């Protein structure tokens, strides 16, 4: 099957995609009948199938049938499913209680709240360019609509300064050149005058809760902000119960919760999300080898589920970006995807980090448990280093939606086609009788009954065949099989391919083999 996925994501409208997701049952606003709740989303019938397909593919390819390592041997990776609420000291040991903060500012005029490092304009001095210095207005354009707001403020600033010019910058930034003696004024993104923003203050992103009947400091706990710590807490249990030895990995898929100051861009940054993580334990001297291995494996895996090279890149973190646990290791690479709201730039999809031995040492110190690994071949105890491929399941779903979303203005019936990889498609095939009479529904139903235990198939007799095709195009169904009057005469059916809308006749008895060949 030819995947003709549209790669120019900058030309795709997020408003149109969000509307399709609501109309076709991919994603709904949470608590919608009560007006919704910012930062939370519900996955509808098609959305949950898409998410489960991505989740199951990751688990199969990373855990059940793991990749082959640099030595030519299949990796040893086991799974866990840890509790969302853990002992509060876990988050003290991990550094989240003290350091999991974002700078926050409020606008006294609009009553909106922003992350200071995203939406506050600040002064940055760069090398001299002629009569100007590049004084940068840091306006990180992660949301649609901020480009025009920034430009409006920049033009006012140039006029006030009596000169200046707009200058292109990196994908996430725009700069304005001003005369050397001009001070840059801090202006809120949704107002026209300065002075409405409060001073930045730190805001811890963890959701607090209480365990037990008494609500006091001793009962305070947290919803986990990441799934990684549940893996480290079970590291000793895995060593004691499973036949694993370093190097090996522990995998987990699960929900995490972050009280984001400004959730935005649909499900890209939300307060409840799902992660797919592996903590891969290896000898310290082999960390670089495994780090490079996992960077390559994870980028290639995202391509295997339908994301294109044109929309993927690997970006190495600068030193100032590194998390505390990665500063003494190999570093961190992000697998980034070109979302429509970041285009022509990219947004993080997955991180591959060298966490060194930070977490195991911290948990040994705070808990008193012995967490060193005993290597029988080397006859020594040591803390393994940890390479962490940590992907966003929710963001992965969004990337699949953005990649698949293809406007088709010239196609009859279908305004949009969702060109999912067949392995990811929520509905893999549809069985249609051309009309709901003349024995066609009975033949179609028999085919459906024979195949529904092997594939995600829909049986539909309602509306015209064109409208049914259009509905399946928007659901992302790769193949539709139509039983018509010729079927009753010669035992053939029409198979229609989603991406090209091309049709061919195949034998009625070959539908199962056709799906096995094209889907697996």
Domains of the chain: 20-99+206-403 (3.30.930.10), 102-202 (no CATH), 427-518 (3.40.50.800)
Q: Which two tokens stand for residue 446?
A: 């028999």
Of residues 210, 211, 158, the one with CA closest to residue 184: 158
Give the contacts of 40 (CB within 8 A, at least 6 positions apart).
29, 30, 31, 270, 271, 272
Return d(Cα 345, Cα 338) in angstroms, integer. Answer: 6
Q: Running DSSP on this structure, what letter comes out for residue 68?
A: B
Return d(Cα 86, Cα 93) in angstroms, integer. Answer: 12
Q: Determine contact, residues 458/427, Cβ cutoff 8 Å.
A: yes
Q: Count CA atoms closer than 13 A to 373's CA, side-chain side.
A: 24
Question: Tell me, what's the pLDDT at 289?
Answer: 96
Q: Strand 248-257 and strand 77-79: pairing?
A: parallel
First-to-last CA distance in the chain?
12
Coil/strand/helix, residue 406: strand
Q: From residue 286, give the alpha-carbon distance in Å to each of 33, 292, 317, 360, 379.
A: 53, 10, 21, 17, 17
Question: Tell me, what's the pLDDT at 504?
Answer: 97
Return d(Cα 358, Cα 93) in angstroms, integer. Answer: 10
Question: Tell me, what's the pLDDT at 120?
Answer: 37
Triad 152, 156, 158: Cα angle to 5°: 115
- Name 105's bridge partners: 114
- Name 419's bridge partners: none
Q: Strand 27-29 and strand 220-222: pairing?
A: unpaired
Give the contacts of 300 (CB within 8 A, at least 6 positions apart).
none
Return d(Cα 133, Cα 177) in angstroms, integer. Answer: 6
Q: Which two tokens stand for residue 488?
A: 């009753």
Question: Tell me, what's the pLDDT at 198?
Answer: 79
pLDDT mean values, one per 10 residues, the chain (520 residues): 53 95 97 96 98 98 97 96 97 86 79 64 37 39 46 63 56 46 58 74 85 92 96 97 96 96 91 98 96 95 96 82 63 92 92 95 97 95 97 97 96 92 97 96 97 96 95 98 96 96 96 94
Give the contacts of 228 (CB within 8 A, at least 6 positions apart).
277, 279, 355, 359, 388, 390
Question: Tell me, what's the pLDDT at 131?
Answer: 41
**Within the chain, how many helices (H) and strands (E) appear?**
15, 27
Q: Which two tokens stand for residue 154?
A: 């920049």
Of residues 450, 403, 446, the one with CA closest to residue 425: 403
Q: Determine contact, residues 255/274, Cβ cutoff 8 Å.
A: yes
Return d(Cα 498, Cα 512) in angstroms, integer. Answer: 18
Of residues 515, 440, 439, 422, the one with CA closest to residue 482: 440
Question: Tell me, what's the pLDDT at 326?
Answer: 61
Question: Tell me, what's the pLDDT at 11?
Answer: 85
Q: Strand 174-179 and strand 165-168: pairing?
A: antiparallel
Residue for token digits 């008494």? 214
């Amino acid at each position: 099957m030819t995947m003709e996925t549209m790669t120019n994501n900058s030309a795709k409208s997020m408003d149109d995609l969000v509307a399709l997701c609501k109309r076709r049952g991919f994603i709904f606003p949470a608590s919608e009948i009560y007006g919704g709740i910012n930062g939370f989303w519900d996955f509808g019938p098609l959305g949950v199938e898409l998410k489960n397909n991505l989740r199951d593919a990751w688990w199969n390819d990373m855990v059940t049938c793991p990749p082959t390592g640099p030595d030519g041997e299949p990796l040893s990776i086991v799974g866990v499913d840890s509790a969302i609420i853990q002992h509060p000291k876990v988050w003290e040991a991990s550094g989240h209680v003290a350091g999991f903060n974002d700078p926050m500012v409020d606008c006294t005029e609009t009553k909106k709240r922003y992350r200071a490092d995203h939406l506050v304009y600040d002064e940055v001095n760069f090398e001299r360019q002629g009569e100007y210095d590049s004084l940068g207005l840091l306006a990180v354009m992660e949301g649609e609509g901020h480009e025009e707001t920034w430009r409006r403020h920049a033009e006012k600033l140039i006029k006030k300064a009596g000169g200046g010019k707009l200058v292109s910058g990196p994908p996430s930034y725009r700069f304005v050149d001003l005369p050397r003696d001009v001070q840059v004024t801090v202006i809120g993104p949704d107002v026209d005058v300065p002075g409405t923003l409060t001073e930045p203050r730190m805001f811890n992103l963890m959701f607090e809760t209480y365990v037990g009947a008494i609500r006091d400091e001793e009962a305070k706990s947290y919803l986990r902000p990441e799934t990684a710590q549940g893996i480290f807490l079970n590291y000793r249990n895995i060593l004691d119960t499973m036949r694993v030895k370093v190097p090996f990995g522990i995998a987990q898929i699960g929900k995490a919760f972050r009280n984001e100051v400004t959730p935005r861009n649909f499900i890209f940054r939300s307060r409840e999300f799902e992660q797919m993580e592996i903590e891969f334990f290896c000898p310290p001297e082999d960390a670089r080898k495994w780090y490079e291995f996992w960077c390559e494996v994870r980028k290639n895996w995202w391509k295997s589920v339908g994301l294109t090279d044109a929309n993927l890149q690997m970006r190495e973190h600068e030193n100032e970006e590194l998390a505390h646990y990665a500063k003494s290791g190999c570093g961190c690479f992000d697998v980034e995807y070109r979302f429509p709201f970041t285009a022509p730039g990219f947004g993080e999809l997955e991180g591959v980090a060298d966490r060194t031995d930070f977490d195991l040492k911290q948990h040994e110190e705070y808990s008193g448990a012995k967490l060193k690994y005993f290597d029988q071949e080397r006859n020594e105890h040591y803390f393994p280093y940890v390479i962490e491929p940590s992907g966003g399941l929710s963001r992965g779903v969004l990337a699949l939606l953005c990649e698949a979303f293809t406007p088709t203005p010239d196609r009859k019936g279908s305004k949009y086609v969702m060109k999912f990889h067949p392995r990811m498609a929520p509905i893999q095939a549809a069985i249609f009788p051309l009309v709901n009479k003349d024995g066609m529904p009975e033949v179609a139903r028999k085919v459906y009954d024979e195949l529904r235990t092997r594939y995600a198939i829909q049986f539909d007799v309602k509306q015209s065949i064109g409208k049914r095709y259009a509905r399946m195009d928007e659901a992302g169904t790769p193949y539709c099989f139509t039983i018509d009057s010729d079927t009753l005469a010669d035992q053939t059916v029409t198979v229609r391919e989603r991406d090209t809308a091309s049709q061919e006749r195949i034998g009625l008895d070959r539908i199962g083999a056709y799906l096995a060949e094209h889907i697996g």
